[in-house]
């Protein structure tokens, strides 16, 4: 049956590339990758620094641009996040900043939020949120990813409705 249904699979190559500025960011990036894979996304994790290895960062980005149709970059960098803005300034694909947790997140987040004019990267602080945004973007071209998103939304709505009904039954 699977072979007979392969024609239903969309002919869309997609990739979500999670760039991390340091090996110390791997745990945070693994959470993004796990959430993204649960939504049916193909994910690659890469370690590179926009500050310390700019040319290498741009070379890696270019490799993905040359080989994939639907593509989203997620930048994970703390402190002075140059990674997301450098990616955004050199690509026409979407870039999502998702800085790792830190005791100084209140100070560090500004480098992801206040970027130079002309750059269009989005910023979220939770790994699940980064994966969801990536899935929403990829889902515009891949109906199987879109369907997984809709199922997730319906499951959440159903759970809320059931919790509300349970609460109402307790208070009657």
Residue 13 has pLDDT above 90, yes or no: no
Indicate the pLDDT class of residue 79, thresholds 50, 70 and 90. Answer: confident
* pLDDT given at position 118: 84
Indicate the pLDDT class of residue 170, thresholds 50, 70 and 90. Answer: confident
Lowest mean pLDDT across 1-5, 17-21, 124-128, 131-135: 1-5
The three-state DSSP-derived secondary structure of the chain is CHHHHHHHCCCCCEEEEEEECCHHHHHHHHHHHHHHHHCCCCEEEEECCCCCCHHHHHHHHHHHHHHCCEEEEEEECCCCCCHHHHHHHCCCCCEEECCCCCCCHHHHCHHHHCCCCCCCCEECCCHHHHHHHHHHHHHCCCHHHHHHHHHHHHHHHHHHHHHHHHHHHHHC
* pLDDT given at position 64: 95
Residue 15 has pLDDT above 80, yes or no: yes
Quote the percentage of the chain above a pLDDT of 70: 87
* pLDDT given at position 78: 79
CATH 3.40.50.720 fits 2-171, yes or no: no
Q: Where are the domains of the chain?
A: 2-171
Indicate the pLDDT class of residue 119, thresholds 50, 70 and 90. Answer: confident
What global pTM score does this model have? 0.87
């Amino acid at each position: 049956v699977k072979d007979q249904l392969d024609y239903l699979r969309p002919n869309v190559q997609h990739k979500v590339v999670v760039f991390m500025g340091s090996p110390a960011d791997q745990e945070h990036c693994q959470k993004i990758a796990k959430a993204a894979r649960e939504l049916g996304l193909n994910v690659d994790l890469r370690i590179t620094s926009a500050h310390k290895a700019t040319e290498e960062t741009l070379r890696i980005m270019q490799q993905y641009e040359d080989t994939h149709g639907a593509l989203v970059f997620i930048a994970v960098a703390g402190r002075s996040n140059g990674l997301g803005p450098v990616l955004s300034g050199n690509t026409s694909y979407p870039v999502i900043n998702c800085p790792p947790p830190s005791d100084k997140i209140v100070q560090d987040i500004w480098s992801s939020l206040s970027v130079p004019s002309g750059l269009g990267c989005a910023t979220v602080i939770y790994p699940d949120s980064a994966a969801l945004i990536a899935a929403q973007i990829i889902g515009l071209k891949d109906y199987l990813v879109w369907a997984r998103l809709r199922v997730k939304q319906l499951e959440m709505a159903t759970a809320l409705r059931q919790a509300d009904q349970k609460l109402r039954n307790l208070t009657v």
